Structure 1
């Protein structure tokens, strides 16, 4: 059991059995902080309280792994020592070469247990497991095809089930907060950072799906199979043409437009009881003409989110290492300004020690009050308590993930998502993709996965990978290969921005062979080529390729409908989709 005092544990038991906690399905009346939480805050020093507001990365795959990145960034050797020295409120896991926290489920569970053992106060352990293109932990965890695929399927219960499965599997690894669902309304087809991470360009459809996923992630209060959800990115990143990882985007919505479009999914998340909401590093001049990013803007965080939308849960920043929040202020100033704006959790400061010291110094100088710090600490600890993470118990060493019933649920979501946007010659309806088939286009792994699944259904596929920007030799090679087959399936990704991909599809169409083009990420590709048949999958994962093979072989009747308006030379409206 976690090292909490006997008094705190007794108070937690009393609070859990007597507190009037609302249903996750009800509109959010925020429960009071239980006595266990308030007692814990009273016993903390200022430095400990400030530490609770930070969520940091660590380097390494075990709590006691000596990693040079920890020495460079934190002045200590191991992840456990980072936790012991800085006493953060949370840790975030990544699967990239910069941080490298993720290998197997058993390894992740052991890392979580080790980090919790190093912390006096239970940590919030978080990750970005949106599913689809933002997935930190791959197989054997159950892999769903992502938000826009759920929007295409238009099955609210499936969205809730998908989030529930993901929550159970994350919690089995010791992860207690998931930075999902994406609550952005992707109203700009040129958006370089949201796209299929959004459920829809329709605010009402997005709101329905966001609320369903919040319910699925959070399940019920005090559940040890649930995680805290985080609706993101407030006040809405869906109408940007720039990426806040590398710049500070501007959204030119009026306040009225924001209320009609971007606010709706966040309102729905709040009504569903969402534990946390993540801010965006974007400018909205109509709301805050100062030029500050929303993360540091009091008119946005306090004015819109706290006061207009009535939200009293945890507000967390997007990563403070991103360029969008670092253009106007120093790394030491940013956390202080975020707290002044109304934020509670500060994610991934560039230099954790300097950031903590800056907030402590601001309190001692009277720039921030300790009462303001207490307010955020209470929100953070209340969130941990409500998800059954305060106190915390070790997770089993061999997590149960990727069970057959869960994999079947993921496949069902992917099957419902496949959208037949065009089938002029009846290529798909007639099941003409059989026998000798050329599978070509974008994605070495994706084309191979589709070919494997067509082969399992009796086809004889040939694979010619041409990549994101095929050259003339690659295009000519694919066209030559098409001459020896009965049908062609060509995969596209960002074709609308890649003239060479468009040329590939057009040349294949001109070969006279039946061509089925498949947009394996953003559906906007379908407007930029006159292929006889167009499918949209919203995902290039293996589960989506299985669904394509099922539709092409006639095993599954397509039911997906476009969850976004698709502008372009051959435009298609929201809701369009062929079925039979």
Structure 2
């Protein structure tokens, strides 16, 4: 097996990338060779394209999913799933059959992710299948590792706060460092495209799909953090992807299940939605992901943006000058399948200006539809080659066409979850934790306040099986010297569970209650109210939405962590104990629950122990 860190190191040409990598534990992925002019590179890549069959060119446009933890020997249930949905037994077979340009890893339902060494072996198996094809072009392996609420690879890899937490921290340096650390670890696993950062501006508190995945509600602040994370990822040799163009931040509908409509005027779009994407482009972002939603002010045809030539070719490429890869959001989502069938969607997307087709629900239908569209004359082979060239530029930039695509276990051990990375993540999380309420300076807890009851939600992101939850908060408090009892009450506690928590509060110095997405009818409200009524001081921790506090009253203190991952909850515990001073500031306003037109806490609100 080849060690990619050694086979590519001679290609490193960017002094900035080298210096930046050294600051966070080092990246082994190279930038483009500085001595080659873009015109010479393109001539080289066009020569490669000229040797490819139509089928191979079409395959380069697709990034497909698969089931199983191994490229060649998945579990039988994953074999059955692959046969049912992909028509092949293994990941290697789907790469071979459709001459794929890339694959995407998921944990949970897909079973692609178990631990770092398994991921490295999976990557090497995928690359062996790719190099066995006639074109001998390695796969661009991707993932949706935004961190925070959208985390695919858990511990022992370094966990970072999510986007809204960085919005609270307001540090472009921290955002850049986090992107570089995350990118360095992904590169060590052979994952060289990350569908992050989110560039949507979350101006709708009821947004069910973006929410804390956004850096906040201020377009310019979001733009600065997006640009910083783009720089961090790409300095680590990983393709970054700003998403979801033209902006998914002001919708109350989820494009996974519906076709949302953005009602912004063109002026509002320019002022609210566009700035982060302009910032990403100015920062040199390699790819931009489309959104499956309608924006009548940009395209009155009401086609989803993913299928709109007006939006993708006209606005994104023409007006905004983006020259990189345009990638679709997942093509299995209802938002893009509402108006057209699965055989038409990929063809229309290419006609609209898309280069990379992500996660088609039926790879056979999609791949054959594009091949047939070229043979019938609906698409030209020249148009396909334009997208292949853009994709090969990315592969060339991250070193896939200049040496071995394989990764080594030695590099995984050196990089993934490195002690310096973990320490940096903890310090960043501390700077994002936001103290919203602190009545009578109840926090930090005094020495005599050691007996705690920890109750609340145990959230799990539905598309993933990475578990970060209440036990992490309890464990962190235990490590700080508290005596804790834990009761997991869930997101919808029933009367018996609430009674049990209330009974357990007796004799405690304080109750720490974690909430997750508290709505007007949520029984989490009842839980908190009953606990407050006991007279035992209640410390509230919102482990996802900072908006939860608007639904609660009577708590002595309230913290927002913006996510439930270990790194966020450890930081919250250190704030509760007074080991660190909370420095986060709300990146979004919190409206009053009884009168949403009025603001309870404005953006920028955040207490410290010095206040």
CA RMSD of aligned residues (A): 2.0
- Displacement after TM superposition at 1:389 (Å): 2.1
Q: Is the 8 A contact 2:220 2:275 kept in 1?
A: yes
Residue 263 of structure 1 is matched in structure 2 by 274
Residue 146 of structure 2 is matched in structure 1 by 130
SS at match of 1:407: helix
Does the alignment pair 1:195 with 2:211? yes
Residue 43 of structure 2 is matched in structure 1 by 35
Residue 6 of structure 1 is matched in structure 2 by none
Partners in 2 of 1:143 and 1:503 — Cα distance?
A: 32
Q: Is the 8 A contact 1:116 1:122 kept in 2?
A: yes
- Displacement after TM superposition at 1:19 (Å): 2.2
Partners in 2 of 1:497 and 1:167 — Cα distance?
A: 39
Does the alignment pair 1:350 with 2:361? yes
SS at match of 2:485: strand
Cα separation, partners in 2 of 1:498 and 1:132, compared to 1, 3 Å: farther
- The 5 Å alignment of 1:40-189 reads 40-65=48-73, 67-97=79-109, 99-119=110-130, 120-189=136-205
Residue 505 of structure 1 is matched in structure 2 by 528
Q: Is the 8 A contact 2:60 2:388 kept in 1?
A: yes
- Displacement after TM superposition at 1:397 (Å): 2.6
Cα deviation code 1:352-383 (max 9, x no counterpart): 12212211211222211221111111111011
Q: Is the 8 A contact 1:183 1:198 kept in 2?
A: yes
Cα separation, partners in 2 of 1:253 and 1:182, compared to 1, 3 Å: same
Partners in 1 of 2:104 and 2:559 — Cα distance?
A: 36
Say which is worse superposed, 64-73 or 180-189, in terms of deviation: 64-73
Partners in 2 of 1:362 and 1:35 — Cα distance?
A: 27
SS at match of 2:487: strand
SS at match of 2:118: helix
Cα separation, partners in 2 of 1:32 and 1:72, compared to 1, 3 Å: farther
Residue 318 of structure 1 is matched in structure 2 by 329
Cα separation, partners in 2 of 1:433 and 1:206, compared to 1, 3 Å: farther
Partners in 2 of 1:432 and 1:565 — Cα distance?
A: 34
- The 5 Å alignment of 1:385-396 reads 385-393=396-404, 394-396=406-408
Residue 416 of structure 1 is matched in structure 2 by 431
Residue 24 of structure 1 is matched in structure 2 by none
Q: Is the 8 A contact 2:42 2:389 kept in 1?
A: no
Residue 25 of structure 1 is matched in structure 2 by none
Partners in 1 of 2:310 and 2:505 — Cα distance?
A: 58
Partners in 2 of 1:555 and 1:366 — Cα distance?
A: 67
Does the alignment pair 1:486 with 2:517? no
SS at match of 1:495: coil
Residue 332 of structure 1 is matched in structure 2 by 343
Cα deviation code 1:279-338 (max 9, x no counterpart): 011111121122211100111111211111110100000111111111111101000000
Correspondence for 1:452 among 475, 481, 497 = 475
Q: Is the 8 A contact 2:520 2:551 kept in 1?
A: no
Partners in 2 of 1:16 and 1:353 — Cα distance?
A: 37
Partners in 1 of 2:448 and 2:119 — Cα distance?
A: 42
Residue 288 of structure 2 is matched in structure 1 by 277
Q: Is the 8 A contact 2:437 2:558 kept in 1?
A: yes
Partners in 2 of 1:429 and 1:76 — Cα distance?
A: 57
Partners in 1 of 2:470 and 2:106 — Cα distance?
A: 27
- The 5 Å alignment of 1:198-213 reads 198-213=214-229
SS at match of 2:417: coil
Does the alignment pair 1:574 with 2:574? no
Q: Is the 8 A contact 1:432 1:487 kept in 2?
A: no
Cα separation, partners in 2 of 1:17 and 1:262, compared to 1, 3 Å: closer
- Displacement after TM superposition at 1:84 (Å): 1.4
Correspondence for 2:490 among 467, 471, 496 = 467
5+ residue gaps in structure 1?
3-10, 22-30, 220-224
Partners in 2 of 1:466 and 1:78 — Cα distance?
A: 40
Q: Is the 8 A contact 1:109 1:396 kept in 2?
A: yes
Cα separation, partners in 2 of 1:12 and 1:417, compared to 1, 3 Å: closer
Partners in 2 of 1:464 and 1:77 — Cα distance?
A: 43
Cα separation, partners in 2 of 1:262 and 1:165, compared to 1, 3 Å: same
SS at match of 2:601: coil
- Displacement after TM superposition at 1:37 (Å): 1.2
SS at match of 1:261: helix
Residue 559 of structure 2 is matched in structure 1 by 535
Partners in 2 of 1:230 and 1:56 — Cα distance?
A: 17
SS at match of 2:88: coil
Residue 455 of structure 2 is matched in structure 1 by 440
Say which is worse superposed, 497-506 or 320-329, in terms of deviation: 497-506
Partners in 2 of 1:303 and 1:114 — Cα distance?
A: 40
Say which is worse superposed, 524-533 or 308-317, in terms of deviation: 524-533
- The 5 Å alignment of 1:398-409 reads 398=410, 399-400=412-413, 401-409=416-424
Cα deviation code 1:511-531 (max 9, x no counterpart): 222111110101011222122
Q: Is the 8 A contact 2:436 2:559 kept in 1?
A: yes
Cα separation, partners in 2 of 1:266 and 1:17, compared to 1, 3 Å: closer
Partners in 1 of 2:529 and 2:469 — Cα distance?
A: 21
Cα deviation code 1:449-480 (max 9, x no counterpart): 22222222221112122111112222222222
SS at match of 1:191: coil
Q: Is the 8 A contact 2:450 2:481 kept in 1?
A: yes
Cα separation, partners in 2 of 1:105 and 1:568, compared to 1, 3 Å: same
Q: Is the 8 A contact 1:12 1:34 kept in 2?
A: no
Partners in 2 of 1:375 and 1:12 — Cα distance?
A: 27
- Displacement after TM superposition at 1:392 (Å): 4.8
Partners in 2 of 1:235 and 1:32 — Cα distance?
A: 33
TM-score, normalised relative to structure 2: 0.88
SS at match of 1:425: helix
5+ residue gaps in structure 2?
3-10, 14-31, 131-135, 460-467, 594-598
